[in-house]
Structure 1
Amino acid sequence: MAKRLMPKKQLEGVGLTLTGACVLLVALVVITLIFMVAQQGLSAFFVDGINFFSFISGTSWVPSDGVYGALPLIVTSFGVMLLATLFTLPIALGSAIFVVEVQPGFGRRVFQPLVELLMGIPSVVYGLIGLTVVNAAMRAIFGDAAGTGAGILSGGIVLAVMILPTVTTLSIDGLAAVPNEYREGSYALGCTRWQTVWHVVLRSAMPSLMTAVILGMTRAFGEALAVQMVIGGVEKVMPAGLLSPAATLTTALTSGFSNATTGSIQYHALWALGLLLMAMSLVFILIIHVIGAKGAKNRD
């Protein structure tokens, strides 16, 4: 006896119900996370009485003395992120141009899969390599000025390697999305390959390239474990230079919660750091959406 098939309208209704439930579940998880972090983080200001402006602008983070100034952590986080971006951008962009414009066969079959393999390496492995190789290189190059080798520069180098696969892969996709008609039109006008790449391809792919860079910056801004292993973990004062041991928002969070009592001022101050970190991530995501919207408008 043949099985009765579900009517097409009923089947469509089941599909819409399942997909709608998935969307609601994701939205619920996101809203719950934001609410939980905001509730705990804002308690530092509205319950424990920490002054928000002192928290943002204070230059010392010493929880044992009741001093909660997050400015050193914010400055170090942005410093490490910008260093990693500066190191990564030329390499990622050059690699993407090679894959798409110079040797697409070899690039797609061999190079790009190798780069994508780097995404699967755990953060702790990058941290171990940074601890044993990068910090040792800092000591060998800068001598006593580098101390143990741990510092902002070491953190920037390790993060640059970590975000390189992300920025490279997204840049390749952005360049590959440029229509071939643009290249053919440029060649028809007598432009060379590099003139075409510089003046046509890169400009057309600029929104996608900027999105790749910002996604890489977001990954660098939120990384904790690998940076904690190579940056030194000094939270108390503003960093004096690129070779100075320091701490980021994420490293302060991972090291601080082990010593914080639930419900204490230090506990809520750490949640406030998490709220600040989440807010910055949301800003990066908003920037990505704005760039994407402008890119779509320009294409239209």
Structure 2
Amino acid sequence: MKRASVLAFALVSAFGAARATEGGGLGVYPDGLENFMSGALPPPGAYGIVYGSHLHYDTVRDGAGNRVGPPDFRVAVDVIAPRLVWVTGRSVLGGQLALHAVAPLLDVDVHAGGGRWTSRGLGDMTVGAALGYHASPNLHYLVALDIVAPTGHYDRADPSSLGRNVWTVQPVLAVSRIGPSGWNVDVKAMYDLNLVNHATGTRSGQALHADYALGWGLGNGWVLGAGGHVYRQITDDTGPGAAGKAMAFALGPALKYDSGKGWFLTAKLQRESGVRNRLQGEQFYLKAVLSL
């Protein structure tokens, strides 16, 4: 794989573009981002969420899982991403209607082949709508549709570009089993439908991926457990920047703290394995949720 191809499309935003398969890189969503409570909508009202992330990649894997690329390859992405969620008082198809928007602010640092590229600024924004359902006091689920817009600056020759230059449509299904004591289980599944990057003539393949978390509530606001993500590309890329189908798995410790006063925190540290045709690394995610 050519260095420019691998880097220019592999790396971009953690919230609008951190995982594109074009050029053998990453796609539209930072896999593993969500943690406990991913499928449970709160009562009607406005909520502020802030994601803080540090993503680090030090390896490129080919279709056989072999390490390729320059020996000094490393990528660091620091992210602060405010998200606004409005849970309306309206019911649609029996579910709570909610709207949201995410605006990621990125600091990207790329080293490879003796060169260095850096970028800072707004990445690709995400907007979406969801319907939330409450099957019981402990079991919740939602269906959603997110749209990732190419708002981040893009330069096909700059591997630290802040955007991917593509629109992506992403259906979502999330389920949460929550409780102050006992088992807490969360799964958020997504399917990526990517449009064409007109600057390169390449269209990344469709992908199925999911975040997960499994923990035990201690009864004092803390939930301790493990979480990560699974990723599998379903269809081939097309165009000049096409790469083989990508896949990955990640696992690491996860926790949640609920203050009982209208705010809670989650955190997750994960390391990827079983990676094929994309970057491999580790990610740390922190999320703070507050009722406005």
Structure number with the higher strand fraction is 2
Instruction: Report which structure shows greater RCO (CA 8 Å, sep ≥6).
Output: 1
Give the TM-score of the pair, scaled to structure 2: 0.26
CA radius of gyration, larger in: 1
Structure number with the higher helix fraction is 1
Give the TM-score of the pair, scaled to structure 1: 0.25
